[in-house]
Amino acid sequence: MTEAEAPFPDAAAIEDGRLLFAKECTFLLGAAGLDQLPEGGMVEIAFAGRSNVGKSSLVNALTGRKTLARTSNTPGRTQQINFFDLGGRLMIADLPGYGFAEAPKQMVEKWTSLVRAYLRGRPALRRVCLLVDARHGIKAGDREMMKMLDAAAVAYQVVVTKTDKLGPTERAKRVAEIAAEAARHVAAHPDVVPTSSVKGEGIEILRAHLAALALP
């Protein structure tokens, strides 16, 4: 672990995270408009990031399921906000990816408008996990999202994905670069969590962070 990375939680926090994410996780609905959003009775967390950054793979890894959230190599596949109920204690929202060029402009604008409205007007939303691909670092679309979250005062935590694609030296350098930039944003959580859905790196750390926000 480098100074840029989240400190390893204690054993009790790790166990709380394990127990929470071992609970039944069920798909509730896919919302294509604000009028379709579920009621906000639970604490809510959201996963955001560039298209194909690995959101669905991370949700699957966190919940220990292979097909809970669909994965695809085709950018822009997720066209709505997908909601999951984790044991009645935590609502998980998987947001449409941004930054892809293949989808029609009108569709991109519709998805962008939906996500922005959701983030600004969701009282139950406690944290956004902003996923950044380790291979590419923070890109223009990520910076736009970070500025919007800062302006809306929505707390977010940067989660670095696909760390298994880099060697140890390059990985440490990239995580440090990402953490340094995130530290300049007022709504960003100070701890960056590097993860690999393939190798399981960082999964129990992120579970512990999110379990601390969940309903008892």
Rounded Cα distance, 211 and 182, in Å: 22
Residues 169-179 pLDDT 10s: 999 999 999 99
What's the pLDDT score for residue 20? 94
Q: Which domains does the chain have, with CATH numbers?
A: 11-211 (3.40.50.300)
Amino acid at 77: R
DSSP H helical ranges for 88-139 = 105-120
Ranges of the chain whose pLDDT falls below 50: 71-77
What's the pLDDT score for residue 76? 45
Does residue 185 contact residue 151 with C-beta atoms inside 8 Å? no
What's the pLDDT score for residue 77? 47
What's the pLDDT score for residue 148? 84
pTM over 0.85: yes
Q: Residue 207 to residues 45, 72, 92, 165, 193: CA-CA distances in angstroms?
A: 12, 23, 12, 22, 11
